[in-house]
């Protein structure tokens, strides 16, 4: 269950306590004494933006998984792998726990989060209650900490820097797509306004 926001909010700059009041869409509350921002309301079209960002992320996700992340040339021997290919070779090399972890955090959970978010927002945009929307919204909130595309991208960049001494590295399409995916997933979940989605869902009941 969503916890209701506290009735009072303290200014982060000067500690003055304020009573929380509802804001118009896109509005923001400022401290009476020092003018620092206390909190803000999501703009009215927040979930439209979240949908556009989530759809872009879906496309990037497909490209990121369909093409090789990186091409390696070690003394004339060329090698390239997609993310799923990397998971498979980890599994074959008996590093099964790592294979499962990589699969879950970089493929399964981000895919579930993106598909779920897109599905719920698309249905709400049509003024409908998407099939399974309520459990999906709960699910999206609970799996979020397990989506680690950004950790993966940073990990790949660090390994590429280390590998640069022993191999010729050709960054693949998927590497750039993962970089974009990282930004678009973050932007979609920042734009997503769960309160608006929940009240829209209640209205379509
Ligand atoms: Zn203040």
Q: Give the pLDDT confidence of 19-35 residue by residue, as tens digits.
A: 988 888 888 999 999 99
Q: Give the pLDDT confidence of 112-126 residue by residue, as tens digits.
A: 999 999 999 999 888
For residue 53, the CA-to-ligand 1 centroid distance in Å is: 34
Amino acid 87: pLDDT: 92
**If phi over 0 gives left and psi between -120 and 50 gives alpha, with beta otherwise, what is residue 77?**
beta
* Runs of H (alpha helix) within the chain: 46-66, 83-92, 96-103, 109-125, 133-143, 149-163, 173-191, 194-203
For residue 24, the CA-to-ligand 1 centroid distance in Å is: 21
Round the CA-based radius of gyration of the chain to a whole number and report it: 21
The pTM of this model reads: 0.80
Q: How many CB atoms lie within 10 A of CB 182?
A: 21
For residue 20, the CA-to-ligand 1 centroid distance in Å is: 14
Q: Mean pLDDT throughout 47-69? A: 94
């Amino acid at each position: 269950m969503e916890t209701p926001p506290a009735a009072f909010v303290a200014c982060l700059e000067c500690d003055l306590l304020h009573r929380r009041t509802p804001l118009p869409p896109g509005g923001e509350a400022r401290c009476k004494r020092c003018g620092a921002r206390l909190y803000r309301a999501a703009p009215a079209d927040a979930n439209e933006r979240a949908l556009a960002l989530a759809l872009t992320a879906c496309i990037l996700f497909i490209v990121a998984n369909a093409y090789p992340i990186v091409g390696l040339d070690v003394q004339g021997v060329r090698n390239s792998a997609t993310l799923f290919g990397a998971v498979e070779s980890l599994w074959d090399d008996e590093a099964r726990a790592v294979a499962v972890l990589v699969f879950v955090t970089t493929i399964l959970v981000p895919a579930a989060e993106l598909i779920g978010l897109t599905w719920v927002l698309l249905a709400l945009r049509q003024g409908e209650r998407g099939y399974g929307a309520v459990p999906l919204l709960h699910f999206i909130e609970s799996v979020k900490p397990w989506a680690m595309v950004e950790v993966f991208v940073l990990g790949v960049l660090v390994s590429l820097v280390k590998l640069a001494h022993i191999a010729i590295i050709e960054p693949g399409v998927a590497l750039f797509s993962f970089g974009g995916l990282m930004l678009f997933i973050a932007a979609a979940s920042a734009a997503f306004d769960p309160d608006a989605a929940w009240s829209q869902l209640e209205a379509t009941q």
